[in-house]
Structure 1
Amino acid sequence: KAIETHGGVVFFSIAERELRSKLEDLCRMHNIPALSVLDHVIHTLSKVLGQPDEEIRGGQHRMDEAYFDRIEALDFTIQHDDGQGLSTVGNADILIVGVSRSSKTPTSIYLAHRGYKVANYPLVPGVPMPLDEMPMGGLFTVGLIKDARRLVQIRRNRLLAMNERENSSYADMKTISDEINNARKLFTSQNWPVIDVSRRSVEETAAEIINLYNTWLENEGAS
């Protein structure tokens, strides 16, 4: 309406044929100039690549779909971070379980950017994981662990940053060792694969999770 009243031009980058046609018809109806910002780019790429314009437009459409899939995955992952959204955790592609500061959240976010819907759950001392309350049937789950000494260092730094007492049990070596042992027992009892992230980057951890997930999918399909 503002363009119709005050004048202007509609620039668009829509590749999908039907939606583009509707926009162009609407602009013509209101005598508003409309210009595709992609036409010249696509025409040039067509010449360089030796492919018809329509094939390149189709690639743009597929790219748009992949983009929105990643946005949806990221939104899901944020809503299911750190034990949130337990009632819908069954909609995840991947569930990551681990003790505090074992890189669950950054790994989840990295995977979400790759298009995977990820939930993560923190193991807290003295608080059993509510497996009965979580719809986990057919859900791929992986456990993360980290070297106790490394966890002590990370947690102490976190406490200092939060102005908390450094001698808190949160950063106590024995407490952390017990947490890791209990986590291992849980993972073994549930037959979940385990990844030691002590010397892995987030990217390396995510790559290993994707490999395990793909293997799991193949086995599920064969069963």
Structure 2
Amino acid sequence: MEKEVVYVVSDSVGETAEFVVKAVATQFNGGSVDIRRNSYVEDAEDIEDVIVLASQNNKSVIAYTIVVSHLKEYLDRRAAEEGILAVDLLNPLMNAFEQKFHKEPNHQPGLMRKLDEEYFRKIEAIEFAVKYDDGRDPRGIIRSDIVLIGVSRTSKTPLSMYLAHKRYKVANVPLVPEVTPPDELFKVSRNKCIGLIISPDKLNEIRKERLRALGLTAQANYASFERILEELDYAEKIMKRVGCPVINVSNKAVEETASLILDLLKSGRRIT
């Protein structure tokens, strides 16, 4: 007795087609059908191999997700010639999209997987930025794509998160006179390290606002000009020692600074 077989054919991985076939198969006595996946078909020869196999079994079906037009046409023609039932799982919906939305499909295989990979790269970068925020673990400096250094309130964390959404792994390190910078900071390539500076007046304004938001007195040492000048002077010395490019963030939005950072990484220029 011939076994019921569904040949899943795809010009990509074929996961979508296999999932659909399994969902349908469960509606027929628990889905005992034999599913055989044929992934990454690239030419007529690949399709011909499946046609030969399917033609040898009267209880076989071909279910396919092929978006490359000439491959789809070839499979349809050969299946018809051999009397094989071939089911296109994508084309009916693609046609509906074309008619209703007035758009043309790309006819490019693997786009779904590419989107998935991009998504997971972004999630990985965001998790990295959280884990290595504010100098929590110096090991992140070596593993990062970008290292941001600067005194407190120079937008290191917002910048890290913004760049993470663009799939860059970012670590940031606060520069504080009382805390020796981690050794890793002086071992990484200066091209991926960015120093962030800010004017004393602007930093004073930001820190006072921060203290007010926390319900603390604006006269605290954290916002005093003397302390700010001390921190900025210390930060400048560290940045010179690292030899990294420096960006003045005084009057820049996060998006603007991020754009400058990416330009720096690509060109290797220095900017202030």
Residue 143, structure 1, aligned to residue 195, structure 2: yes
Answer 1 or 2: which has greater helix percent: 1
Query: What code does the residue aligned with 1:28 have?
Result: V
Name the aligned partner's letter for residue 231 of structure 2: E
What SS is found at the alignment partner of 2:181?
A: coil
* 1:198-209 aligned within 5 A: 198-209=250-261
1:141-164 residue CA offsets vs partner (Å, 9 max, x unmatched): 000011111111111111112122
AA of the residue aligned to 2:22 = L
Distance 1:181 1:43 in 2: 64
CA separation of 1:19 and 1:192: change in aligned 2, threshold 3 A: same
1:127 alignment partner, one of 173, 176, 179 = 179
1:18 matched to 2:14? The reply is yes
| C-alpha displacement of 1:46 | 5.4
Q: Supply the distance in 2 between the matched residues of 1:74 and 1:165 (Cα, whole angstroms).
A: 34
Does the Cα contact within 8 Å between 2:134 and 2:174 map onto a contact in 1? yes
Residue 41 and residue 149 in structure 1: after superposition, are their counterparts in 2 closer, same or farther (change >3 A)?
Answer: farther
Alpha-carbon offset, residue 214 of structure 1 = 1.3
Match of 1:95 among 147, 153, 156: 147
Measured in 1, the distance between the counterparts of 2:91 and 2:158 equals 38
How many matched pairs? 198
Check conservation: 2:122, 2:164, Cα contact below 8 A.
yes
Give the Cα–Cα distance (whole angstroms) in 2 for the partners of residues 26 and 71 of structure 1.
Answer: 30
- Corresponding residue of 1:12: none
Higher mean C-alpha deviation, range 81-90 or range 20-29: 20-29
More off after superposition, 117-126 vs 42-51: 42-51
- Structure ranking higher on relative contact order (CA contacts 8 Å, 6+ apart): 1
Of the three residues 24, 29, 35, the one matched with 1:28 is 24
Could you tell me which of 242, 249, 268 is aligned with 1:190? 242
SS of equivalent residue, structure 1 residue 119 = strand
Percent identical residues: 35
Deviation, structure 1 residue 40: 5.8
Deviates more, 1:20-29 or 1:207-216: 20-29
Q: What displacement does 1:26 show?
A: 2.3
Contact 1:89 1:119 in 2 (8 A): yes
Cross-structure match for 2:264: 212
Aligned to 1:75: 127
Corresponding residue for residue 39 of structure 2: none
Q: TM-score, normalised by structure 1?
A: 0.77
State the alpha-carbon separation in 1 of the partners of residues 120 and 213 from structure 2.
36
- Higher Cα radius of gyration: 2
Normalised to the residue count of structure 2, the TM-score between the two structures is: 0.64
- How much is the aligned-residue C-alpha RMSD, in angstroms? 2.9
- Residue 134 of structure 1: how far off its partner (Å): 5.4
Alpha-carbon distance between aligned partners in 1 of 2:137 and 2:210, rounded to the nearest angstrom: 25
Shift of 1:81: 0.8
1:7 is matched with which residue?
A: none
